[in-house]
Chains A and B, each alone.
Chain A
Amino acid sequence: MPDIEAIKSEAKRLLSEGMVEVMLAFKAGETPLHPQPAFFRTPDDVDELVYSSLNQNNLATYLTRLPKESKVSMVVRGCENRSVNALVVEKQKSRDNLYLIGVPCEGILDWRKIVAKAGEAVKSVNESEQEVMVESRSGYYLVERKELLHDSCMRCSHPNPVSADILIGEPLAESDSNLAREAVEEFEALSVKERYAWFRKEAERCIRCYACREACPMCYCTECFVDHIEPRWTESGATPAGMQAWHIVRAFHQTGRCTSCGACERACPMDIKMTYLTEKLNHDMKEKYNFETGLDAQTKPPFATVTLDDKNRFMV
């Protein structure tokens, strides 16, 4: 775990020196399982800052909700840093207005997995590198960290921030990028019919609350295609056609933009799997264009790039 006092003192310095107007991080929530995203505006506010593996959200989703010119600092993990870069590439924020406090990430603990292990009324969660101690109404549970990691974090190959202004904590070992491949392979190994059945089973559980959209840093459109009325692009209701359309288009809009952070799945109230689609698209981006989202703040995603020597001449 990174030194939380070091994070705080850097945050306080930035705010007191006026380098940034707002600091995006987490504060303790009402229950130990749910730390809340927080906006700190004064050095004193920063006393409330917490850092733990229970911080579920990708804070970059708030960047496009703040005034574009505001100077912002964020505590970023690997995926959040890459999302910030992707937003900078898409000109949603100038890198000059950002100060990133990087933290190597040991993976997010999935609160649903914690409740499944330890039962109701979780009173405290204490983590070390290898293990997590959970105290709930029914007693104490010592669980291996790996068992509680969110699925996306189990596949993460870039736990370290790639372009932080300051890094707090020692960088972790980068893991094998084939880990993400394994999740896709299971899906790819199925027949077309089986794949469609899988997709339907997941997508048609949807209640169209759009928590996945709101939790995603890259879903910042002023008007989402599902909210568009004239013409209407999808069926409006929680019907098979409407739900399938939402899930397939949502995934495709992420091509070359998704950082595999898994915030969509963590936000979903219906436990719908979504990353098997985006991981597949990410894999295609890597294999066909040698592109990974957000590794720097300059390279445009392949589908946002057109060159004069494009072999598909109709494009230019």
Chain B
Amino acid sequence: MNFILEKQALPDLLQTWRANFDVYLPQNLERFTHFMPLAAEGVTVINEPHNTRIPPKALFLPMTETLVKFTRFGGYENAKHEIEPRIVFALRPCDAQAVQLLDTSFLQVKYSDPFWLERREKTITVALGCHEPCDNGFCTTVGYGPFNKADLDAMLTDLGDFYLVETFSEAAETCFNGFANASETICVQALEVQQRAHDQMPVAFETENLKEKLEQNFSSNYWDKVSLSCLGCGVCTFLCPTCFCFDIVDETQRRERVRNWDSCMFRTYSLEASGHNPRPSRVERTRQRLSHKYVYWLDQVNQIGCTGCGRCVRYCPVGLDIRSMLRQAQSLPFEVSHAS
């Protein structure tokens, strides 16, 4: 279904949703935007031409969460998290796509993560398409786009005084119940906006044979070159919407087993109990980060594990840029594999 949502009606709509849902949307926190639950008053709908600092993956995989609580005398019980039905509003299509990618890890046929599953089931995602290209993003390069519709309940297209709302699920239709249906002219107008946005995104690098090139040059000094100035902090991975590595730790003083975000860029990530570290330096760690996104995800689910949100580019403290790294990778030698 396609609806029309007047911009001035939006604050009231968000408040109406609050009766039945926790509503999360980007709000100002210090000098950036952050997904926070909507309060009763003072709604500002932020329309910055780039996404929040922390990606909305944090709404499904919190930075720290308790998995198990230990009781006295050796017993334990699984932690319970009270998760209310919620609407995540104005997330960007790259971030929504990332959540779908993460499903392939957290919701596998044999094993699924109960916390992730519950949060996913209780969440309605209403994305805001990007009608203005953002500065460092490269969504079209990796096969997605500013109006990528994968894994959304609804998508908004900014058309000046109003939004076109496209709904893709019954739950989302209910959310926009009572709003006027969009005419065909308006839908065509929106399509043009979407197409223009798509065309405005520059191609950052070629993806053809990229996987083979990275794979076949595992031992190349290319990795030394691109990791040379890397500081080894966790900015690129923690702010990445598709990075999901975690560490499980027993916080004995609190008698809890917790799951914390972890990063393959940290020395301690791959450090083994024996003291041996199979990824001893930033060279191997950088190779892991890039290869995971551009080789291993493809091996596992046949999708590039990067949605082109551009956060790692924008916030790297030393200006390292994955676009430039992959452009350099394009000149690596490789042989065409003849897979049967």
Say whether A associates with B.
yes
Which A residues have a C-beta under 8 Å from some C-beta of B?
29-31, 34-39, 56-57, 61-62, 112, 116, 119-122, 205, 207-211, 213-215, 227, 235-239, 242, 266-267, 269-271
Q: Dominant SS at the A interface?
A: loop
Q: How far is the CA of A239 from the CA of B65 in the complex (A)?
A: 9
B49 interface residue (CB < 8 Å to A): yes
Q: B5-13, B210-218, B315-323: which one contacts chain A?
A: B315-323
Contact partner of B233 (CB less than 8 A), chosen from A37, A38, A210, A271, is A210
Binds A, one of B36-44, B150-158, B224-232: B224-232
Chain B 118-144 residues near chain A, CB threshold 8 A: 132-136
Minimal beta-carbon separation of B158 from chain A (angstroms): 15
Q: Taking the complex as formed, is B64 at the interface, i.e. its CB lies under 8 A from any CB of chain A?
A: yes
Query: Could you say which residues of chain A place their CB within 8 Å of the CB of B50?
Result: 120
* Contact A266 B251, beta carbon cutoff 8 Å: no
The reply to whether A236 and B53 contact each other, CB–CB distance below 8 Å, is: no
A238-B234 contact given A35-B319, A227-B267, A271-B31, CB 8 Å threshold: no
Q: Quick check: which of B88-96, B102-110, B255-263, B294-302 contacts chain A, the rest being far away?
A: B255-263
- Taking CB atoms, residues of chain B closer than 8 Å to A36 are 229, 318-320
A237 to chain B, nearest CB (A): 3
> Do residues A267 and B231 form an inter-chain contact, with CB atoms below 8 A?
yes
Give which listed residue, A31, A211, A214, A236, contacts B249 with CB less than 8 A.
A236
| B238 adjacent to A207 (CB under 8 Å) | yes
Which one of B63, B133, B316, B317 has the highest number of Cβ atoms from chain A below 10 Å of its Cβ?
Answer: B317
Residues A120 and B134 in contact, CB atoms below 8 Å apart: yes
Given contacts A209-B263, A214-B232, A269-B235, contact A238 B64 (CB under 8 A): yes
Minimum Cβ distance to chain B for residue A23 (Å) = 13
Q: Is B313 positioned at the interface, with any CB of A under 8 Å from its CB?
A: yes
Report A33 CB to chain B, min CB distance, Å: 8
Binding site for A on B (CB under 8 A): 29-32, 49-50, 53-54, 63-64, 132-136, 228-229, 231-235, 237-239, 247, 249, 251, 253-254, 258, 260-261, 263, 266-268, 313, 315-321, 323-324
A209 → B minimal CB distance (Å) = 4
**B313 close to A269 (CB less than 8 A):** no
Contact A214 B319 (CB under 8 A): no
Q: Within 8 Å CB of A242, what residues of B?
A: 64
* Minimum C-beta distance from A238 to chain B (A): 4
Contact B317 A211 (CB under 8 A): yes
- Nearest CB in chain B to that of A207: its residue: B238
- Chain A residues within 8 Å of B320, by CB: 36
The answer to whether B63 and A207 touch across the interface, beta carbons within 8 angstroms, is yes
* Tally of contacts, chain A with chain B, CB under 8 A: 116
A-B contact pairs, 25 of them (CB 8 A): A29-B321, A30-B321, A31-B319, A39-B229, A56-B317, A116-B31, A120-B134, A121-B133, A207-B54, A207-B234, A208-B260, A211-B231, A213-B233, A214-B233, A214-B317, A227-B267, A236-B258, A237-B260, A238-B63, A238-B260, A239-B64, A267-B231, A267-B233, A267-B235, A271-B32
Cα–Cα, bound, A271→B29 (Å): 10
A35 to B320, CA, bound (A): 9
Instruction: Report A-chain residues with C-beta under 8 Å of the C-beta of B321.
Output: 29-31, 34
A209 touches B235 (CB 8 A): yes
Contact B324 A269 (CB under 8 A): no
Q: Which residues of A contact B235 (CB under 8 A)?
A: 209, 211, 267, 269
Are B229 and A38 in contact, CB atoms less than 8 angstroms apart?
yes
**Residues of B with C-beta under 8 A to A39:** 228-229
Which chain B residues lie closer than 8 Å to A34 at the CB level? 316, 319, 321
Q: Beyond the given A34-B319, A227-B266, A267-B231, could you list 12 further A-B residue pairs with CB under 8 A, ordered by the A residue number?
A: A56-B319, A57-B317, A120-B49, A205-B29, A207-B238, A211-B235, A227-B267, A237-B258, A238-B64, A269-B238, A269-B315, A270-B53
Q: Which of B238, B239, B251, B324 contacts A237 (CB 8 A)?
A: B251
B260 touches A121 (CB 8 A): no
The answer to whether A215 and B234 have CB atoms under 8 Å apart is no
Contacts of B323 in A (CB 8 A): 30
B233 to A211, Cβ gap below 8 A? Answer: yes
| Whole-angstrom distance between the Cβ of B232 and the nearest chain A Cβ | 5
Shortest distance in angstroms between A246's beta carbon and chain B's nearest beta carbon? Answer: 13
Question: Given A39-B229, A120-B49, A237-B258, does the pair A208, B318 have CB atoms closer than 8 Å?
Answer: no
CB pair A236 B233 closer than 8 Å: no
> In whole Å, how far is A268's beta carbon from the nearest beta carbon of chain B?
8
- Collect the chain A residues with CB atoms within 8 Å of residue B318's CB: 36-37, 56-57
Check A215–B247 contact: CB distance below 8 A.
no
A37: chain B residues at CB < 8 Å are: 229, 318
CB-nearest residue of chain A to B62: A238
By a CB distance below 8 angstroms, the chain A residues around B249 are 236-237
A62 CA / B316 CA spacing, docked (Å): 16
Give the distance in Å from the alpha carbon of A31 to the alpha carbon of B253 in the complex. Answer: 47
Q: When chains A and B are docked, how far (Å) is the Cα of A266 from the Cα of B235?
A: 12
CB-based nearest A residue for B133: A121
User: Do B63 and A269 touch across chains, with their CB atoms under 8 A apart?
Assistant: no
CA distance in complex: A70, B211 (Å)? 36
B234 nearest CB neighbor, chain A only: A209
The answer to whether B32 and A236 have CB atoms under 8 Å apart is: no
Chain B neighbourhood of A239, CB < 8 A? 64
Do the beta carbons of A29 and B263 come within 8 Å of each other? Answer: no
Max chain B C-beta neighbours (<10 A), residue from A29, A62, A122, A211: A211
Contact B319 A29 (CB under 8 A): yes
List 10 A-B pairs, minimum CB-CB distance, nearest first: A34-B319, A237-B64, A267-B317, A209-B234, A214-B231, A211-B233, A29-B319, A30-B321, A238-B63, A36-B319
Contact B258 A209, beta carbon cutoff 8 Å: no
Chain A residues, Cβ within 8 Å of B134 = 120
Whether A236 contacts B317 by the Cβ 8 Å rule is no
Q: Residue on B with the closest CB to A206?
A: B63
Closest chain A residue to B327 by CB distance?
A30
- Asked if B319 contacts A269 (CB within 8 A), the reply is no
Q: Are B313 and A30 in contact (CB under 8 A)?
A: yes
A235 to B319, CA, bound (A): 31
